[in-house]
Amino acid sequence: MRQNKIKVLGITGGIGTGKSTVLDYIGKMYHARVIQADQAAHLLMEPGQVCYYKIVESFGSGILRGDQKIDREKMAAVVFSDKEKLKRLNQIVHPAVKEYIIAEIKRERGNGTVPFIVLEAALLIEDHYESICDEFWYVYADEDVRRQRLMQYRGYTAEKVKQVMKNQLRENVFRQHCQFVIDNSSNIVENTYEQIDRGLIEHEFL
């Protein structure tokens, strides 16, 4: 355990498990700093930011909107069916996101005004964020619950849900790498909150 430093809690889990519910609660209830890798990536792809010109140079101006911002839907269409292009995009974005997150953690530790930091990243395990985080927590939900949420709240088709889930880590891999599991399958959100409260106390984040 790192001494005299604000701890970093890594949150991960498959799509539709309800990670945003967990992050919202921890941020509001405990006043923790919440950092989301996806939001950092969006910021770094804005005009003038570190990833913008590299992406435009790699994929052409056809991915830009009228206001010269990157159209993420157009970009997704370009890389979705081409593994090499997706790999190239990831090689641009992922290291930049990690650098941004490390800098934000350093800044928060310098300020010393938050009790702890929560980092959410879909690729927390694959991108080896264990060097940054004190612990990984896995947000779990039953597959049927996830499927229902994605179709109801995101408008995914059954086929799209199947495709997205197929490309994600298996449950046993998440459990193997994480020190605590939050079961967010229940419709009663207080059940999830109770698990978070207990975990933060037992794992000494408070």
- Does residue 20 have a known ligand-binding role? yes
- Does residue 18 have a known ligand-binding role? yes
Whether the CB-CB separation of 174 and 125 falls below 8 Å is answered with yes
What's the longest Cα–Cα distance across the chain?
51
What six digits make up the tokens of 195?
A: 């698990």
- Does residue 17 have a known ligand-binding role? yes
Sequence-ordered list of residues with C-beta below 8 angstroms from that of 188, at least 6 positions apart, any chain: none
Phi and psi angles of residue 128, each rounded to the nearest 5 degrees, phi first: 55, 55
**Which residue ranges make up the annotated binding site for ATP?**
16-21
User: Which positions make up the binding site?
Assistant: 16-21
